[in-house]
Structure 1
Amino acid sequence: MKALVLAGGSGSRLRPITHTSAKQLVPVANKPVLFYGLEAIRDAGIREVGIVVGDTAAEIQDAVGDGSRFGLQVTYLPQDAPRGLAHAVLIAREYLGDDDFVMYLGDNFVVGGIDGIVRRFRQERPDAQIMLTRVSDPRAFGVAELDGDGRVVGLEEKPEHPKSDLALVGVYIFGPRVHDAVARLKPSWRDELEITDAIQGLIDTGGRVESTVISGYWKDTGNVTDMLEVNRLVLEDVEPSVAGAVDASSELIGRVVVEAGATVAGSRIVGPVIVGAGTVVRDSYLGPFTSIGRDCRVIDSEIEYSIVLRGASIDGVGRIEASLIGREAEVTPAPNVPRAHRLVLGDHSKVQIRQ
């Protein structure tokens, strides 16, 4: 069995962060989301991985390399533009051959890994195995309809009137028969080759599609709210560790990680929190569910339930929460001008100002 990892999307919902960084490499708990998926694939016993890449190919390749750090053999598959999940299968046809394969969306996060669903596929040998989860608003997802035995009888992509509340999770397993279904596809109303249409094609031609409804945690980390929630979830399981320097006037409470080369002085940190290597935290408060990347500076500030990326500087800011702060960003107090805000914002930025 091989794996096909999709890492070619533009990440429009995470702009402006993704104007300069691949969305799959935005970190949670100081590790890129993509790495969690690669580790889950390895832990399921899969070694050969094809990664579909687009405009951010160089960055993905620089981060993942040949895959040996994960115990994987990685092949990169260029895609000229995001044209749907099934299009990724189409361009990977030669690489995949007639092998079974897991298709894993590189910006998805599944707690508990995928070894259970892979094992079930190998035992039962359906034409496709999909993962489902119940959602409050199925209209934003691919939606599955099941019969009384739990077998998939219908699929729709972002339906206006969903037939169930079961959304497709971004992990699929296919046998080689799916390639015939993909080859028959026509672009959808979104002008994309939809994987839901390919699976429906399998069903319509007598293929067997099985499902697993997961009760655990799954997130598509395509927006800031979900990134922060996944960061919170991962930090729940960190073990406290202090490899950096913490002075006597500082207080660490709960599960706090201070990586080698980091410095904490005159500060209070309430975990779970990770402070990255080379970062300086001075005269500040870091609250629960906060990840500070490497080589950052947090001076005379307060921050909680946030992700701060490499090289950012936060100086003299009274309170920050529920925020995603990009690489090399600078956050400082505004000039003391009554009723005025001074902003320098990139394209697609979002700012909330309290009046």
Structure 2
Amino acid sequence: MKALVLSGGAGTRLRPITHTSAKQLVPVANKAVLFYGLESIAEAGITDVGMIVGDTAEEIEEAVGDGARFGLKVTYIPQERPLGLAHAVLIARDYLGDDDFVMYLGDNFIVGGITGLVEEFRGNRPDAQILLTRVADPRAFGVAELDPSGQVIGLEEKPDQPKSDLALVGVYMFTPLIHEAVRAIEPSWRGELEITHAIQHLIDTRADVRSTVIKGYWKDTGNVGDMLEVNRTVLEAMERRIDGEVDDASETIGRVVLEEGARIVNSRVVGPVVIGSGTVVSNSYIGPFTSVAENCRITDSELEFSIVLRDSSIQGVGRIEASLIGRHVEVTPAPSVPSAHRLVLGDHSKVQITS
């Protein structure tokens, strides 16, 4: 059995972060979202991975390499532009051959991994197995309709009037029969080959399509709110570990992970928090559900429920919360100018100002 990992896409909902970084490499608890998926695939006993890459291919390849660090053998499959999940299957045909495979969306996060789900698929070997979870607003997802016995009878992609609250999770398992289905469908109104249409084709041709409703935690980390929520969930499961330096004027409370080479000076850190190597926190407060990556500087500031990427500095700005701060960012106080704001913002930024 192989894996097909989708790591293309523009990540428009995470702009401006994704103007300069692949969305799959934005870190959760100081580890790229993509890496959690690759680790889950390896834990499930799958070693051969085809990775779909697009405009951010160079960055993805630099981060993942040949996959050996994860116990995997990774083959990169370029996609000129994102034309749908079924299109990814179409262009991976030669790589996948006649093997069964799991398709994993690289920006999805599933607590507990996929080992049990893969074992269930291997044992029963239906033509397709989809994962479902109940969501509050299914209009943003592919949605499944089940009959009273739980059999999948229909799928819709981002419907205006969903027939259920069961959304497709970004992990699918297929036999080679899916290749016939992706060749049989036409592009949707979005101009994409939808995997929901391909699975619907299987259903219409009486193939064996099964579903599993997962009760564990799942998130599509496509926007800032979801990134912060996944970060919170991962941090809650971490154990306290202090490998860096904490001076006598500082205190660390609860589940704090301080990597080797990090320093806490005259500051208070309340977990769950992770602070990367080379980062210095001085005269500051770091509150719960915060990840600060390596080589950052936090000085005379307060930070809570936030993610700070590597090589950034926050100095003398009071309190920051519910924020995602990119790489090589400098956050400093603005000059005191009456009734004025000075802003330098990237495309598609969102700013809230209290006058």
Tell me the equivalent position of 2:281.
281
State the Cα distance separating 1:15 from its structure 2 match.
0.3
In the alignment, the residues of structure 1 paired with residue 125 and residue 313 of structure 2 have an alpha-carbon distance, to the nearest angstrom, of: 52
In the alignment, the residues of structure 2 paired with residue 237 and residue 109 of structure 1 have an alpha-carbon distance, to the nearest angstrom, of: 14
State the Cα distance separating 1:7 from its structure 2 match.
0.2
The SS at the match of 1:347 is coil
The SS at the match of 2:317 is coil
State the Cα distance separating 1:209 from its structure 2 match.
0.6
Tell me the equivalent position of 2:151.
151
Tell me the equivalent position of 2:297.
297
Matched, 1:325 2:325: yes
The SS at the match of 1:155 is strand
* Aligned residue-pair number: 355
In the alignment, the residues of structure 1 paired with residue 266 and residue 81 of structure 2 have an alpha-carbon distance, to the nearest angstrom, of: 49
In the alignment, the residues of structure 1 paired with residue 352 and residue 335 of structure 2 have an alpha-carbon distance, to the nearest angstrom, of: 18
Tell me the equivalent position of 2:56.
56
In the alignment, the residues of structure 1 paired with residue 141 and residue 291 of structure 2 have an alpha-carbon distance, to the nearest angstrom, of: 29
Tell me the equivalent position of 1:141.
141
State the Cα distance separating 1:136 from its structure 2 match.
1.0
Structure 1 runs not aligned, ≥5 long: none
In structure 1, give the amino acid aligned to 2:123.
Answer: Q
1:198-223 Cα shifts (integer Å, max 9, x gaps)? 00000111101100001111000000
Tell me the equivalent position of 1:348.
348
Normalised by the length of structure 2, the TM-score is: 0.99
Residues 104-253 of structure 1 aligned to structure 2 (within 5 Å): 104-253=104-253
Tell me the equivalent position of 1:79.
79
1:37-92 Cα shifts (integer Å, max 9, x gaps)? 00000111100000000000000000000000000000000000000000000000
Comparing 189-198 with 151-160, greater Cα deviation is found at 151-160
State the Cα distance separating 1:32 from its structure 2 match.
0.1
Normalised by the length of structure 1, the TM-score is: 0.99
In the alignment, the residues of structure 1 paired with residue 220 and residue 138 of structure 2 have an alpha-carbon distance, to the nearest angstrom, of: 14
1:110-165 Cα shifts (integer Å, max 9, x gaps)? 01111111111111111000000011111111000111221111000011111111
Tell me the equivalent position of 2:24.
24
The SS at the match of 1:103 is strand
In structure 2, give the amino acid aligned to 1:128.
Answer: A
Identity of aligned residues (%): 73
Tell me the equivalent position of 1:13.
13
The SS at the match of 1:231 is helix
State the Cα distance separating 1:334 from its structure 2 match.
1.2
| Superposed structure 1 runs of 4+ greater than 4 Å apart | none
In structure 2, give the amino acid aligned to 1:230.
Answer: V
In the alignment, the residues of structure 1 paired with residue 284 and residue 161 of structure 2 have an alpha-carbon distance, to the nearest angstrom, of: 50
Comparing 113-122 with 3-12, greater Cα deviation is found at 113-122
In the alignment, the residues of structure 2 paired with residue 135 and residue 344 of structure 1 have an alpha-carbon distance, to the nearest angstrom, of: 37
